[in-house]
A and B are shown apart, each in its own frame.
Chain A
Amino acid sequence: MSTPPIIEFDRVNKVYQSGGGPVTALLDVSLSIATGEFIALIGPSGCGKSTLMRLIGDLEQPSSGTVRVKGKTPAQARLDRDYGIVFQAPVLYEWRTVRRNVELPLEIMGRPPAERRERAMSLLRMVGLGDFGDAYPYQLSGGMQQRAAIARALSFEPSILLMDEPFGALDEITRERMQTELLSLWSNATPRPTVIFVTHSIPEAVFLADRVVVMSPRPGRVQRIVLIDLPRPRVFETRESPRFFTLVTEVREALRATENERVGA
């Protein structure tokens, strides 16, 4: 890769102290992610995907090893507002209208009201919620709420987008539509943000990503990295191409290898 890495993991371990003794969530993870790259993190649940994402976002601290973000500590990057975060649940604040939810980060960052409003409305139009600015979250379907959450994460133009199973709670049809929408948002943004996208859907990972990082559980490790060379823009037909099937199979086998290893161990 020609571009310098925006995120670097150097032999990172993460051990949680829990009631039942220490839990090694990440073991010896080294990983480097290029600026503007779309990375999918995949693995069975409990293999440390969320932990890895939280280490990048300074929502957890590594037990050993270092994480660097744009050459800084994650803490500094957070203070510089380098991260937009989207969780599996939309986490909209129910007392705010959809538009004011999207404005929330801008409000905290002290941007002027007129600018906030304009930015929020333009984002809502972009995610197809232009008519819903004054609605309250409960009036929206799950997919629409998640669109609003994505708009909120993009509102302050963060250079890194952290997404933890953002479409995990959606039905398959909505999910595929949102994947296409996300890619178009991502490729139209200038500069294009770096995306870390956690999922446990293999087709989703392959459809979205430049590289799929396959993780193995207990303890969480990077098992393999699968390069996805599907052309962009990716469209409906991409999912039907032979290359897509080949890559899906490749990721699936990498995942199965982690299972076998565990059974054999």
Chain B
Amino acid sequence: MSAPVQATTVARQAGQAAQKGFRLHDLWPPVLTFALVIGLWELAVWFFQIPLYLLPAPSQILETFLARPVFLLRIGLVTFINAVIGCAIGVSLGCLAAALCVRWRVVADGLVPLAVAASAVPIIALSPLMGIWLGSVSPLSKIAVVAVMTFFPTLVSVYRGLVSPTADALMLMRSYAAPQRAVFARLRAPAALPFLFGALRVCATLSMIGAVVAEFFGGPQNALGVYIKTQAGILRTREAWSAILVACLFGLAFYLAVVLAERAAMPWKRGR
């Protein structure tokens, strides 16, 4: 067997794969598309002379943002923290519920169809109720909305991951007389990891949206959603848009953090 030759080949492939993992060139198509859309938007606003209160040009939005970046980022941070805390709670409880579903199939039979249905329901509609229960100005009501929003998709996805191991993979564990604990820790949980990160990607985006929109129904003055709603209410569209830009930035940062964590947590996926 030509093991050494194969070894260097694999090592080289692994190296290439690791480099390919960064995929800088993969960024170009979306960046170009984005630039194109922004450019067209800018042109359209000037060309059709769209009034400022209807739709400001990207350059005007940026200008407004740059006039008070610290203020805007600070109110963005208030909302972002709610989003992160809510997401952490929702995802943790979702994982816990998924684990219980695997342990007791009765729980799964009851909970999983419900969760699938709930994933399709606009949970954001709960916001006013959460306001009643937990205080409309309190961050707790926003955190609760986000937690509920992220709970169901996490439960569904992680449950699917936990039951994804094949009959053969499970039989192998059985042949080692592995205790349930070991089957969970060494087979089901790692098999569910890609599913968890899939859910996290969705939840990262979802939770920033949820936190902002929840604030439309009330919240502290120094929060992004409240600011957007007030400014839009008095037709200060530019100001509202600059706050939306901040929401996008935080949402994107959250998403990227998840992607980086995913890459760090699953080295065996990098080369593919």
Contact = CB atoms under 8 A, between A and B. Distances in A.
B271 A93 contact: no
Interface string B177-202: 11000100011001101000000000
Interface stretch (B32-40, B94-102, B168-176): B168-176
Given A89-B168, A135-B10, A95 B268 contact: yes
B168 A59 contact: no
Interface in A72-89: 78-79, 81, 83-85, 87, 89
User: Looking at chain A, what size class is its interface with the partner chain?
Assistant: 35 or more
B172 A91 contact: yes
Interface stretch (B1-9, B65-73, B248-256): B1-9
Interface stretch (A102-110, A210-218, A232-240, A251-259): A102-110
A94 B194 CA distance: 12
Interface string B1-44: 10110110010011000000000000000000000000000000
B3 A131 contact: yes
Contacts of B10: 132, 135, 139-140
B183 to A, nearest CB: 9
A129 B3 contact: yes
Contact of A59 (B175, B190, B271): B175
Contact of A57 (B7, B169, B175): B175
A87 B177 CA distance: 17
Interface in B204-245: none
B266 interface: yes
Contacts of B168: 87, 89, 91
B272 interface: yes
Contact of A136 (B6, B172, B191, B268): B268
B190 A93 contact: yes
Contact of B178 (A84, A91, A108): A108
Most-contacted residue by chain B among A89, A91, A107 (CB, 10 A): A91
B256 to A, nearest CB: 23
Given A138-B272, A139-B13, A85 B171 contact: yes
Contacts of B7: 131-132
Given A85-B175, A139-B14, A94 B268 contact: yes
A250 to B, nearest CB: 33
A65 interface: no
B171 A59 contact: yes
Interface in A196-253: none
A108 B176 contact: yes
Contacts of B171: 59, 85, 87
Contact of A85 (B172, B177, B266, B268): B172
Contacts of B266: 95
Contacts of A91: 166, 168-169, 172
Contacts of A57: 175
Interface in A108-144: 108-109, 128-132, 135-140, 144
A204 B272 CA distance: 35
A78 B174 contact: yes
A104 B182 CA distance: 10
Contacts of B172: 85, 87, 91
B194 to A, nearest CB: 9
Contacts of A177: 1
Interface string A139-174: 110001000000000001000001000000000000
A128 B166 CA distance: 28
A262 to B, nearest CB: 29
A18 to B, nearest CB: 15
A84 B178 CA distance: 13
Given A81-B177, A85-B171, A93-B169, A104 B186 contact: yes
Nearest to B268: A136
A91 B176 CA distance: 14
Nearest to B10: A139
B178 to A, nearest CB: 5
A108 B166 contact: no
The 5 closest A-B pairs by CB, nearest first: A131-B7, A136-B268, A128-B1, A95-B190, A85-B175
Given A95-B193, A131-B3, 12 more contacts: A57-B175, A85-B175, A93-B169, A93-B187, A94-B268, A96-B190, A104-B186, A129-B3, A132-B6, A138-B271, A140-B10, A162-B175
13 contacts: A57-B175, A81-B176, A89-B168, A91-B169, A94-B268, A95-B191, A104-B176, A108-B178, A131-B7, A132-B6, A132-B7, A132-B10, A136-B267
